[in-house]
Structure 1
Amino acid sequence: MNSGLGFVRGYKCVAWLLLFISLFLSANARSEFDNLTQNLLLQYLAEPTLEREQYLTTLQAGTISEQLESVDMIQLSVADFWRQKNVPLSFDKLNSGASIVEKNISLEPEVDDYLWVVNYLRKLIWLSQTQSWPAIEPGGLLRLGDGHQSIKLISQRLWLLGDAIEYAADEVVYKEDLAQSVKRFQARHGLTPDSVIGPKTLFWLNQTPLARGHLLAKSFVEKTAYSSQLSQPYLLINIPAFNMVLVEDNQVVLQSKVIVGKSYRQTPVMQGNISNIVLNPTWTVPRQILRKDVLPLIHKDGHYLAKKKFDVFDYEGHLVEKSAQQWQEAAVGRFPYRVVQRPGTFNSLGRYKFHFKNDLDVYLHDTPNPELYRQSQRALSSGCVRIEKVQLLADWFARYLIIDKRIWNRMQLNYDKTQWFALSATLPVHLVYWRAWVDDEHVAQYRDDIYDVDSVDVMSLIGQHAIFTDKVITQ
């Protein structure tokens, strides 16, 4: 008997032989078999485990018999990974006679961005296997016209990552073509596209391909698992992306920039159901903001409350009035009052508040400072989410969910009276934290870890592993 097929016994001989031919003599079948490796690779980069590392090693460097013997176990492992995350797979609907190719294809999550993500991961693995990635340290800012030896390495790296069409190997002067590439790179990393190469741009330039692969795979798995459980329509705010989408019938019907909480007043990852819209809301200042932000301003300027149109109430609900000097004195030490800002264009919540019940007093609202949306880094609030296209969102609610449309329409020119509106149905809202994705233009996007969530050094688990020293997958 042929030693290469020594593991075949009895009646299984013909079946294993046919399987061998289908896998290794057919280029198309081999290509489909690689889909299994891709899916396993994505899972390993997202959540490194010894079991997945061993499976990848077998697929990469094992003998033919070892690879064949591992197929069933690997397929079940891949399927179990997605089952644990409640991601539906067509694998679970296959009949017992399905071919290995059909099984491999059926293990792919049925989401639009899967192929683009795994293709980008393939490229990153290729870069990790073929390119050194030394830290770029110019020692200061680099601007158009500057000369520095690191320019050629920056140019090459942007070319390798797909942000530059070409690079000049001997160029040491920062020229316009490179500046345009830097701007593209900055934009897809959520940075201000000003072409100035500073600390934040260097941080992302120095991220190794494997680090990029881990972040993209991790975010894809989290997004796929979370999105598979969503009922439509829904609002979703991706906190580090400073972005909101309104999804209806699997289509994004509205997208908007948002402002989220500062690093020390973070917008929480959470979910809820918007139950009311408040037109011309008042703003009751939370105690923490009152103590840390407002009272120091009152102590500095006794007229601050009047200028910002705040009313002050005692705990029995009685309006409290004092002179400017008295308010300055009261702002030091215990402050036994409730501070409420009247409705109007000056109000900190702006024109609309979208209310959903939660213990953290977080909601979505407008802002009287729209110029803030021009900033690329928009972690600027005290925890709530401010929406740039708030009027368009309110209009959508008015069309589909506002019950009393007559009063809604009548009050659109009123900016002084607060009015709560009930909805015919609640709208789910989801606040998530996904730092990487492949967009609709098939461009990989990355964002800063604004809340230092990904502080665990996962790269220590995968950075030096042998499975990445040779080709892992067929190119």
Structure 2
Amino acid sequence: MTKCVLMPLLIILLLCSAVFTVKADDAALRILNNQLQLLALLPEGQEFAEDLRSMSRGDLNLQLELREGIEQDIAYFWKRHGVPLTFNTLPPDADSLSRALALEPQGDDYLATSSRIRYLIWLAERHQWPRLDPGGWLSPGDSHLLIPTIARRLYWLGDLGETPGNDKLYSPQLVSAVEAFQSRHGLKTDAIIGPDTLRWLNTEPLQRARMLAGNFVARTVYKQQLGKRYLLVNIPAFELTLVDDNQVQLRSRVIVGKPYRQTPLLSSEITNIVLNPTWTVPRGILRRDLLPQIRKDGEYLQQRHFNVYDYQGNKVEESAEAWQKEASGRFPYRLVQQPGADNALGRYKFHFSNGFNVYLHDTPDKHLFAKANRALSSGCIRVDKVEELASWMANNLVRDKRSWQRMQSDYQTTQWFAFEQRLPVHLVYWTAWIDEWERTQFRSDIYQLSPGVKVATQAQMRLDTEWANKPEPRSGGEAHLLGP
């Protein structure tokens, strides 16, 4: 009697176990497939694209046979790029689902990025994306044949919440959607569909997916070097982020270098903050920017509080007419702008050693931060919330806090303040990501570096040891650095 009862129970348990195994295997294959879709979009993702094709051609049994090789391909990819996986610490008898999950890179944005990439691939497969050319600018209240197509694209991309109809009027509902779209692409949120907005509307879903995939891998690789405290500037986003104890302390708009005077990609450490800095004008900026001003107006030097020195260090004084004449020739002088309201570096300069002679600083031209495209400097980085950044550094890093407090009312004396601890600084170039609200963000490739900027710019990831080992500047000195 007992055997009669036990045998059916055993069969049921075996059947349940088999069903569970099949479901676990099926889930594992879906997880692997999701990651393969992301990795296949990379410039070096040919092997993953082939894995995807192989998986799609076979039944479940063939897919299970291919699984082990695919697992090894994915594990080797992340190992090659220095990203640790829990896969490498799994026991040999780990089940398929555990192995697939352990192959996913650790990060808050992986699942959201993977999901968005799958949606964009789906969108590319099911909808045509012909190039739109309205023949001019479109403003709220306009009527145009392309308005319904624009509305559908905004709906597909998640900026328009309701299913669009065939209304050819640029309605208030569409205005809100266009402004959301412009915000996600770093554009001026004016609801005017001009060349920049149209260019992003014409960006195909598969191209967007490739941007997300490449930038996700680059960010994931780069984040391996970030500690609990650092300052990061994303150049094409024109944004600075200060992190302490893994928490964001400050976000600020920044101005970066023009396309022909690019801010470099690098990692270093901020060692000093300079209060009331002087500015020694680099020869290139002198020739391109200042000499034309002096030729127009000989009073320019005095008005902008420049001292002029010969190459022996002697101060030189001439009349306005004489300076105009000198500016038309070889001009064998060095210009040093004194501290003050119109100093090009503003009130603060944040110094970090690097082979490019760039730094972060304040600026008197605050109105420029309102621009959407802020690639406007000569290579250095101008910080909008500079007072907040300086205050945080004074409270957390500055060694001589008493002197710092004493000099807050002094706007003329230049003073270097050393830090108790160096602050890592990273200048990076990321053009697509999922933000903390799971919104997809895209930015223009202002320096035309993509797809050259891929997986991880190794030069970015390593501190330049030659510069890092140099002694810190002495308090009171002023380095001859690249202009702002």
Structure 1: which amino acid aligns with 2:79?
Answer: R
Q: Deviations over 1:219-248 (max 9, x none)?
A: 110001001122231110000000011112
Q: Paired residue for 2:186? A: 190
1:80 aligns with 2:76: yes
1:91 aligns with 2:75: no
Q: Paired residue for 1:287? A: 283
1:404 aligns with 2:400: yes
Q: Paired residue for 1:421? A: 417
Q: Paired residue for 2:441? A: 445
Structure 2: which amino acid aligns with 1:177?
Answer: Q
1:318 aligns with 2:333: no
Counterpart CA distance in 2 for 1:307 and 1:421 is 29
Q: From the superposition, tell whether residues 314 and 451 of structure 1 become closer, same or farther in structure 2 (CA, over 3 Å).
A: same
Q: How does 1:306-455 map to 2 (within 5 A)?
A: 306-454=302-450
Structure 2: which amino acid aligns with 1:315?
Answer: Y
- For residue 175 of structure 1, the aligned residue among 171, 183, 186 is 171
Counterpart CA distance in 1 for 2:93 and 2:391 is 53
Q: Deviations over 1:40-60 (max 9, x none)?
A: 211111334332111011222
- The CA deviation at 1:21 is 5.2
Q: How does 1:26-105 map to 2 (within 5 A)?
A: 26=23, 29-105=25-101
2:40–2:47 contact (8 Å) kept in structure 1: no
- For residue 201 of structure 1, the aligned residue among 190, 197, 201 is 197
Q: TM-score, normalised by structure 1?
A: 0.90
- For residue 163 of structure 1, the aligned residue among 135, 159, 166 is 159
- The CA deviation at 1:208 is 0.8
| Unmatched segments (≥5 aa) in structure 1 | 1-16, 459-475
- For residue 305 of structure 1, the aligned residue among 285, 291, 301 is 301
- The CA deviation at 1:457 is 13
Structure 2: which amino acid aligns with 1:332?
Answer: S
Structure 2: which amino acid aligns with 1:270?
Answer: L
2:40–2:49 contact (8 Å) kept in structure 1: yes
Counterpart CA distance in 2 for 1:199 and 1:424 is 49
- The CA deviation at 1:297 is 0.4
- The CA deviation at 1:63 is 2.7
Question: Greater CA deviation, 45-54 or 177-186?
Answer: 45-54
Counterpart CA distance in 1 for 2:222 and 2:139 is 41
Structure 2: which amino acid aligns with 1:418?
Answer: T
2:155–2:164 contact (8 Å) kept in structure 1: no
Q: Deviations over 1:302-341 (max 9, x none)?
A: 0000010000101111101110010001001311111010
SS in 1 for 2:424: strand
Structure 1: which amino acid aligns with 2:376?
Answer: L
Counterpart CA distance in 2 for 1:220 and 1:190 is 18
Q: From the superposition, tell whether residues 250 and 454 of structure 1 become closer, same or farther in structure 2 (CA, over 3 Å).
A: same
- The CA deviation at 1:254 is 1.1
- The CA deviation at 1:373 is 1.0
SS in 2 for 1:45: coil
- The CA deviation at 1:278 is 0.4
Counterpart CA distance in 1 for 2:439 and 2:41 is 19
Structure 2: which amino acid aligns with 1:356?
Answer: F
- For residue 256 of structure 2, the aligned residue among 250, 254, 260 is 260
- The CA deviation at 1:216 is 0.6
Structure 2: which amino acid aligns with 1:126?
Answer: W
Q: Paired residue for 1:5? A: none
Q: Paired residue for 2:234? A: 238
Counterpart CA distance in 2 for 1:166 and 1:347 is 51
Structure 1: which amino acid aligns with 2:82?
Answer: N
Counterpart CA distance in 2 for 1:67 and 1:194 is 50
Structure 1: which amino acid aligns with 2:440?
Answer: A
Equivalent residues, number: 440
Q: Paired residue for 2:457? A: none
Counterpart CA distance in 2 for 1:304 and 1:266 is 27
Q: Paired residue for 2:223? A: 227
1:111 aligns with 2:97: no
Counterpart CA distance in 1 for 2:150 and 2:17 is 48
2:37–2:118 contact (8 Å) kept in structure 1: no
SS in 2 for 1:411: helix
Counterpart CA distance in 1 for 2:225 and 2:95 is 29
- The CA deviation at 1:159 is 0.3
Counterpart CA distance in 1 for 2:260 and 2:363 is 20
Counterpart CA distance in 2 for 1:457 and 1:216 is 13
Q: TM-score, normalised by structure 2?
A: 0.88
* RMSD value, Cα: 1.8
- The CA deviation at 1:64 is 2.7
- The CA deviation at 1:31 is 3.0
Structure 1 vs Structure 2: percent identity of aligned residues?
49
- The CA deviation at 1:29 is 4.9
1:129 aligns with 2:154: no
- The CA deviation at 1:19 is 10
SS in 1 for 2:288: helix
